[in-house]
Amino acid sequence: MAEPHSSVLASDVSEPAGLPIGGGAARLARPPVFLHAGWRTAGTFLWSRFRAFPGVLAYYEPLHESLAAVSPATLARHGPQLWASGHPRLKRSYFDEFAPLFRKSATGVRAYRRAFATDDFFAGSDADLPALKDYVRLLVERARAGSKQPVLKFCRSLGRAGWMTRNFPEAVHVAVMRDPVSQFIAAKHQLLAHDNPYFLLMPLLVLARNAGQARVAAALRHFEVRLPPAAAEENPERANSVLRAHLRRTEPEAWYRAFLAFWLLSALGIPETIDAIVDGNLLSLSPAYRAECEAELAVLSGLAVDLGGAVSPECCAGRVADRLGCTPAALWRHHAMAAAFLAEEAGRDWADRFAPACVGAMLTCGTLLGMGSSHLLRAGALARGAEWEALAAYAERAGADARRAERRAERAERELAAVYRSRSWKVTTPLRRLGGRLRQGARLIGAQES
């Protein structure tokens, strides 16, 4: 990946028309940048583009539980090449920027606490979290002491983004989102293709650890999420084992229902004062959207970030219900439940407010609230008419491909059924059975002689 060296001061860039900017405090030309991302939303791609600037100190996931045990000896074990990450190639470890903060007499990063990863995940803006505030402030001030611009990319802050904006008003706050359907499918893909349940387990662990919070408890009841009590244990290995067993005992339909509760709780944590919302799916689909995001990030951060080459992790195509692992009727029911929860917790204006900045993610929520897609598209695409025609054509082609694949599968099933019903198949059945017994006998004889 080429490292861009040019930067643009905020005063030199005009404000883009399509994406609203929130009301933060007066800032320096090169303010701290906080990226509040979800898992599998292209947040690491965005972070890597900031990290490429020599004047930036870019911290990767400052609340990650691995920071409790990382050390100089284990630093190299953390990188995208060691797992099927889908992340861009990196020249250094994810956590390389933390190296000067390693504890001298023990493992882990100074001032970090393991509880930061899951506890107070949905804390309100007025929550009193002095240890967390001191830790994040330490990272920002260390970068400033080295004359660097701090960029912090979180995967565990979206639900408390309001707390972050209130306690760090001098920073630029950007939410990186993806619609819940494709984000869940990406998490499920990691399990099915790579035997990696992490992105399904973490939302469950967060829900379990915060079940005592009123809004979280309400979401668990509303979405009929039943987690084993032991999932909230302090011992992370024990909690992980309990949740793995829970996944084995339950169906993907229940996984998605729990994930939908987690996604909505996280999204509801985004305050009105957020500076920008980036749609991880649209970064890969829409050149015009990428250009607008680049312009807005330049205004906000003072850096000409290049977003070319964005790819949404495990981009989803084909039949949604099948890929989710539930029936269309169940999917409809889950989204109806989400509509009722949103209407009670946030109201219709919530999706409408964020539609211009994050059309892909908000289309889902807007639909759940009974808002037509044309309304949201008009709100979010005033400057992108031709682009949306191209995206609509892309979606139509993907749908046509899925329908053709479905017709081929149905035709193959009909042909196979016809073979089973044919006279020749019935006549040759005894011969096939005899052949099967002979092959089985040959295998037994071979096994005895070996």
- What does the DSSP assignment read for 339-357? HHHHHHHT-THHHHHHTTT
Contact 61, 154 (CB under 8 A): yes
| Mean pLDDT confidence for 286-306 | 90
Entry field: residues in the chain: 450
Residue 182: the pLDDT is 79
Residue 387: the pLDDT is 54
Percentage of the chain lying above the pLDDT 90 cut: 38
| pTM tops 0.85 | no
Compare 345 and 194 and report the one with higher pLDDT. Answer: 194
Compare 12 and 354 and report the one with higher pLDDT. Answer: 354
Q: What is the pLDDT of residues 158-211, one digit of tens each?
A: 999 999 999 999 999 999 988 788 788 888 988 888 888 999 999 999 999 999
Q: Is pLDDT at 151 greater than 90 in this prediction?
A: yes
Contact 114, 152 (CB under 8 A): no
| Mean pLDDT confidence for 97-106 | 86
| Mean pLDDT confidence for 98-110 | 87
Percentage of the chain lying above the pLDDT 70 cut: 70
Q: Please state, rounded to an integer, the average pLDDT across all residues of the chain.
A: 77
| Mean pLDDT confidence for 76-86 | 66
Record the tokens describing residue 201, joined without a space: 């387990």
Q: Is pLDDT at 86 greater than 80 in this prediction?
A: no
Give the C-alpha separation, 135 to 63, whole Å: 10
- What does the DSSP assignment read for 157-180? -GGGHHHHHHH-TTSEEEEEE--H
| Mean pLDDT confidence for 401-420 | 71
Q: Is pLDDT at 92 greater than 50 in this prediction?
A: yes
CB atoms closer than 10 angstroms to residue 405? 13
Q: What single letter denotes the amino acid at residue 122?
A: F
Q: What is the pLDDT of residues 250-267, one digit of tens each?
A: 999 999 999 999 998 998
Q: Is pLDDT at 312 greater than 50 in this prediction?
A: yes
